[in-house]
Amino acid sequence: MRITQSMMTQNLLNNLNTIQQNLSSTENEMTSGKVLNEPSDNPIAMSEDIQTTTSIDQANAYQSTIQSGLSWMNSTTSVLSSMSSTLQSIQSVVLQSMNTTNGTPSVQSGLQQSIAQLTNNLYQLADTQQGGSYLFGGFASQTPVSSYISTQQLDTNLTGSSTTSPLIASGGQIAIVGGEGSTQVSINSGASMEEVESAINGATNSTGVTANIVNTNGTYQLTLQSNQSNTAFGLAGNNVTLAAGGSFSVSNSPTNLPPSGAGSDVTYAVSSSINETVNVTGQQLFNQLPPGGTQTLQQTLQSVINDVGNPSALQQDLTNLTANIGQVTQANADLGSRINQLNTLSSQNSNFISAMQTQQASLEDANMAQVETQYESEMSSYQASLQMGSQMILPTLAQYLTSS
């Protein structure tokens, strides 16, 4: 077969086109610093690079979740430590009250006020927010926790079928403590329910506590409420006795029902196979019985306020308070264990991301010294091809006529 001039020309042009494509690819590598710019550069390496990128993106998403969980948990453990300190302060005041049984009413009233203030500090800690959400609210993170862990109403044991009949056998002083302060209220012997209500309400400006008579199917009962919501308040009436016998005291302390989800665990997916609980709820701390205790923390706090001046009652309160403190301490210890687990997982995840990034760099990054050498070689080949081509291609008649 005879090789014609047309065949030589076509072959030259094909070779020049191939060299130009190689030069363009090499120039892209020099500009981007990457060897993988298009799938056609290396389909197998490109597929592996896409898988590596997916793994890195997923690991970064888990790392972001881990850091969010750690931020929430570290804030929670800090508040729990403050709660433990506050509860220990209440414990100290209880011991002080037990050791000052012969103190004047004003001394006992001051101790009662101290406990109420410390209890309010606990409620404030329970309402700690982060990012607009309540730390201890579970899934009900927009509802103040103190609204359902604090006492909303106190029911006294002053009951009867009449509000005007004498119900007080022996009068004396009752201690009232509320958000406005504390005071001693005088109750006369032979006083009726209305007279006790009037005496308590006469001190409302200094205590912030209001007495009300509730009629339930013809049975009347004296109740107490604070004028400030979510505020500790109480009554101690150990030296006032009722006509039916027994000391004038608070019989129970109802609380508001918690909203839906308030006691739920909040879990974060921190890996493909691990879900970690990142919260502690107010329900868990205040409204669950601790091991070895007979009252929840909310009940114990209310009992302590009411029992100031009553050593035997305070002794039982102290036992319950010790169990409640242990419950808060254990919750903080459990949270600390989960924090350690997330810190370990975070470290492992960071190492994995670094390894994947190194692998990705080995797939993508160009060896610039090698690329520059390759570019110079390809450019030399291109220039040599042009020079050779200029000698291979015969001049046309037009070129001859133009040059003559």
From residue 7, alpha-carbon distances to 17, 20, 382, 392, 399 in Å are 15, 20, 19, 11, 20
- Alpha carbon distance 213, 215 (integer Å): 7
Domain range summary for the chain, segments of one domain joined by +: 101-309
Candidate from 50-54, 131-135, 237-241, 308-312 with smallest mean pLDDT: 50-54
- Read off the tokens for 76: 């929670």
Whole-structure pTM over 0.95, yes or no? Answer: no
Q: Is 307 exposed, middle or buried (CB count within 10 Å of its CB: 0-12, 13-18, 19+)?
A: buried
Mean pLDDT score of the chain: 85
Quickly state the pLDDT bin for 323 (edges 50, 70, 90): very high
Q: Is the pLDDT of residue 137 over 70?
A: yes
- Which amino acid is present at 363? L
Three-state secondary structure call for residue 320? helix
- Which amino acid is present at 248? F
Quickly state the pLDDT bin for 124 (edges 50, 70, 90): very high
Amino acid 401: pLDDT: 46
- Long-range pairs, 79-84, Cβ under 8 A, ≥24: 79/125, 79/128, 79/135, 79/136, 80/280, 80/328, 80/331, 80/332, 80/335, 81/332, 82/125, 83/122, 83/125, 83/126, 83/285, 83/328, 84/325, 84/328, 84/329, 84/332
The residue with greater pLDDT, 39 or 349, is: 349
- Residues 205-260 have pLDDT tens digits of 999 999 999 999 999 999 999 999 889 999 988 789 999 888 898 887 778 899 99
Tell me what the mean pLDDT of segment 28-42 comes to. Answer: 59
Contacts of residue 114, defined as CB under 8 A and 6 or more positions apart, other chains included, come to 93
From residue 252, alpha-carbon distances to 82, 149, 155, 303, 305 in Å are 28, 14, 6, 9, 13
